[in-house]
Amino acid sequence: MPEQFQPHDLADRRNASFLPAEVPVFTFVLVKLASRCNINCTYCYWFRDADVYKKPAVLSVESEVAFCQRLEEHIRAHELECFMLVFHGGEPLLFPKHRFIDFQKRLDAIQQRTGCQIERGVTTNAILIDPAWCDIFKRYEIAVSVSVDGPPDIHDATRIDFKGKGTHADTVRGITVLRHAGLEPGLISVCNPATDPQRVLAYVVDELGFKRFDILPPDATHADNPPPIADYFIKLFDVWYDTYAKRGVRISTLDAMIQGLVGNMAMSDTIGLGPIDTVTLMTDGSLEPLDVLRIIGDGSTSSNSNVRQNSLQDVQADPRWRGAFEASTSLCDTCRACEYLDSCGGGHLAQRWSKERGFDNPSVYCDSWKRIFDHIWARIAPTLIVDVEKTGRSGATKHIDRAAAP
């Protein structure tokens, strides 16, 4: 019988030094077109930081112009061939259409002058989508992602307007408008651990017709004491694995977990090893770290960097941004000793926060992630064929194909 095969055998045990100490050249910026929203989701991280209300409601003209100047300087200085912008909020479609068009024209001009491809996307609740927005998205080749948490009763329990009414019908109407215009959006869901993931999958796939999407845990810190997510994601995996995978359905977080377990890089914001080097452009032109870190509380992402005075790469020296980057490249002792280190990577940075220890904690969902990884591994391990390197007495390496032991 072959020796027991474990997920962590696929990669060397890593420690704090495995991650880069130097900040990479930025090739992505999260652009906050609006600091306000037209709905009032109960789980939203954005308004947990009251500093949001001190920012302009939409990106100021001066900040937009300065950002475009800095972006072109950055592209030229680092000879970049591709750059990615994601327009975000709040709700980004609160940004006036005529200004959005002007912004895109500025970006197109930069693209033409530098030869750098500037890819663009927007994440929206879809409520304000109309044919005019669709024309703009098509004209400037802007990918669209929409937030839908499941069938009406699940979605409307948390994604409500300021009168406490559900927003599901308006969001689905927006998706319909996009599709009538020939635009197929992406989809992002936030799970409610108290609900049935089978219902969410059936709705998203069989009724809305999506085959590629993501389902995420609610953002939370250790101060929030959120409910466990293990039962939800275990059932989500089982239903997907047994029924929907063969139909070509892909769920990004599940993909990332599987990739991590078999020794590949887990490409996900939720889990996986890697530094958090996101730069967020705020509506007043300030450059901040990853926006989800606002969940920590007032002033948690406030920085001294602004496109009116600083280059994009300058933000690497800002104490707040640098602190988040360095926290993401250092894992606590619990994570470094975990068999799922290479797959989980400590979980999302924001979900590691506690008032007592800052980011020096495992994820608030740590126990759940372990149960989920255990379950997924137990199900996929018997199906794997791996290439094992073995070195004989002569020093020669030979490869032996074998099935993984359960």
pLDDT of residue 231: 98
Integer-rounded Cα radius of gyration of the chain: 22
pTM above 0.85, yes or no: yes
Residue listed under structure tokens 């379950």 = 375
The residue extents of the domains of the chain are: 7-385
Residue 11 binned pLDDT confidence (cut-offs 50, 70, 90): very low
Nearest residue to 376 (alpha-carbon basis) of 252, 285, 254: 254
Residue listed under structure tokens 């948390």 = 158
**Paired strand residues for 147:** 188
Residue 245 has pLDDT above 90, yes or no: yes
pLDDT of residue 328: 87
* CB-based burial label for 250 (10 Å; 0-12, 13-18, 19+): middle
Looking at per-residue pLDDT, the higher value among 238 and 387 belongs to 238
Q: What is the mean pLDDT of the chain?
A: 89
Contact (CB, 8 A) for 346 and 266? no
Residue 57 corresponds to which tokens in the numbers above?
């409601």
Nearest residue to 145 (alpha-carbon basis) of 192, 201, 183, 109: 183
State mean pLDDT over 117-128. 98
Residue 399 has pLDDT above 60, yes or no: no
CATH for 7-385 (3.40.50.300, 2.60.40.1260, 3.40.50.12370, 3.20.20.70): 3.20.20.70
